[in-house]
Structure 1
Amino acid sequence: MPLKNDHYTYRVTWSVEDDEYVGLCAEFPSLSWLAETPESALEGIRELVADVIKDMQDNGEEVPQAIAGKKYSGKFVVRVLPEVHRNLAIQAAEAGVSLNRLVSSRLSR
């Protein structure tokens, strides 16, 4: 049975290899659930996550926080090759925007 406060990030997609739908949970990347319908795949992965969380709690393990519940600053650092940095700086200058604005715009596409 799924958890009451189940705020985890789920996705259902088609698996060509398995010829079935697969349910996934971003916070538990090692888990998956195969089913004939997308609805069954979602229900299966949610129940599997609930079972794993119960086991983790019973063993005193830390349960992953839901991505939706985390706070994000909007800032992160990315290292790129110097040539890439130069090319991006040129493109930003030519567009009349800051490097930060150029890269942010590209990432949000």
Structure 2
Amino acid sequence: MTIMHHDGYEARVDFDEEAETFHGEVINLRDVITFEGASVEELKKAFAESLDDYIAFCRERGEDPEKPYSGQFVVRTEPHLHRELATAAKRAGVSLNKMVTGILERGVTG
């Protein structure tokens, strides 16, 4: 598996050895956008064209194309954990948002 980038969009690419074809899927959207190519050059072109097609399709429908994640999401947790996080954030002198973001960053980057 490889990760490709184009205009802020990120895609996971796998190689199908039997078909000798690369398959990609945009991973930083909720919408599903896929593409494929037999070479790296074809794959890059197909990635860009699939994004262009997606944006054109959205415009035809009068919708804004989804953008890569905004950085905002809602987390639901048990009240006791919410209280413990809020208390820990106050002890540390930071906002609850900063406390949770730090925990998430450590969890993702290891």
Partner of 1:12 in structure 2?
Answer: 11
Percent identity reads 28
On the 8 A contact 2:37/2:43 being kept in 1, the answer is yes
Q: Distance in 2 between matches of 1:38 and 1:12?
A: 14
- How many residue pairs end up in the alignment? 96
Specify the code of the residue in structure 1 equivalent to 2:42.
S
In structure 2, the gaps of 5 or more residues are: 1-5
State the 1:47 CA deviation. 1.2
Partner of 1:86 in structure 2?
Answer: 83
Scaled by the length of structure 1, what TM-score is found? 0.53
Aligned Cα RMSD in Å? Answer: 3.7
Q: 1:32 aligns with which of 31, 34, 42?
A: 34
On the 8 A contact 1:10/1:23 being kept in 2, the answer is no
Which of the pair is proportionally richer in strand?
2
State the 1:61 CA deviation. 0.8
Partner of 2:48 in structure 1?
Answer: 46
In structure 1, the gaps of 5 or more residues are: 1-6
Higher relative contact order (CA 8 A, sep 6+): 1
Ranges of 4+ aligned residues in structure 1 off by more than 6 Å: none
Per-residue CA deviations over 1:12-70 (Å, capped at 9, x if unaligned) read 33326x4534152745722201234444323102212333444555xx412434637xx
| 1:49-60 aligned within 5 A | 49-55=51-57, 57=59, 60=60
Q: Distance in 2 between matches of 1:104 and 1:97?
A: 11
